[in-house]
Amino acid sequence: MARRRLYHRQFPALALLLGLVLPLLAACTEEGELIRSYGPEQGSPQVRVLILAGPDSHGPKAHEHRAGSQLMARALHAQQPGYVIDVVYGGWPVDESLFDGVDTVVIYCDGGSGHMIIDQLPKFTDLLDDDVGVVMLHYAVEVPKGSESATQVLRAIGGFFETHWSVNPHWEARFTDLPQHPVTSGVAPFDMLDEWYFNMRFVPDMAGVTPILSAVPPPETMKRRDGLHSGNKAVRAMVAAGQSQVVAWVYERPEGGRGFGYTGGHFHANWGNDNALQLVLNAIIWTAEGHP
């Protein structure tokens, strides 16, 4: 199947954000309902992308999964008009035929014990067996430690947020040195305040993992007491030593397929950062192109 490779064209993210003030076409949706689809204007679709947005949480301006997912879908469609892009809001799709022929699945939701994949592990495993790409954004990278969902997320994207090991402070990360990779094409070094998670639990020796965004957390990230998400002896030692931390990464699965983990995405306004948005769009394209 011929696939157009286009990573570098920037999309004006501010215009996308301004578009969110317009009334939504569908004010009310059921859990797991398809709310928007984009398709090719002509010809057969090159790639199928399914974006799963969990219920909004944290009030306005944070964890706005619906608006953020629609914004990503519009930006991706503008850059890749030959793609079919479906957006589902509220959880796992009620209509699982949306997975038919999908090349990559983007999951943007609250995680932990309420993660949407926990009750859908057979289907999620089938997707991995079929080498479907997986992109997990922000809280979606957290699943319960020691669970089967943790095993499958590790298999899907090569790393996850492990409680009592990983931490989730708010801090301004400075990304001064980006690796050469299709996911960073057209992305310039940038600074951004977000709830950047770090000290992730990766596959052994980080085999197959390529760090994409790394930064040195300031001492202020350790001002909270030790806890489930806030600190522990190991991470405090890393921060005190000024160790750079990976907050976004790509993964080449040994059995086939690609994954991407991105720990930013807490603040909705950050989708207005062209570099951050372009990085995620590139990752969607890259993971989709890894599907045979």
The tens digit of pLDDT for each residue in 167-226 reads 999 999 999 999 999 999 999 999 999 999 999 999 999 999 999 999 999 999 999 999
Q: How far apart are CA 173 and CA 216, in angstroms?
A: 7
Question: Furthest-apart CA pair in the chain: how many Å?
Answer: 57
List, for residues 143-176, the tens digit of each pLDDT value: 999 999 999 999 999 999 999 999 999 999 999 9
AA identity, residue 250: V
Q: How far apart are CA 286 and CA 154, in angstroms?
A: 18
Name which residue leads in pLDDT, 10 or 42. Answer: 42
Q: How confident is the model at residue 276 (pLDDT cuts 50, 70, 90)?
A: very high
Q: How far apart are CA 63 and CA 70, in angstroms?
A: 13
Q: How far apart are CA 87 and CA 30, in angstroms?
A: 13
Q: How far apart are CA 35 and CA 101, in angstroms?
A: 19
| Confidence (pLDDT) at 122 | 98
Q: How far apart are CA 37 and CA 213, in angstroms?
A: 30
Q: How confident is the model at residue 42 (pLDDT cuts 50, 70, 90)?
A: confident
Non-local CB neighbours of 155 within 8 Å, separated by 6+ positions: 128, 253
| Confidence (pLDDT) at 5 | 37
3-state DSSP helix/strand/coil % of the chain, to nearest 5: 30, 25, 45
Q: How confident is the model at residue 44 (pLDDT cuts 50, 70, 90)?
A: confident
What average pLDDT is seen over the chain?
A: 91
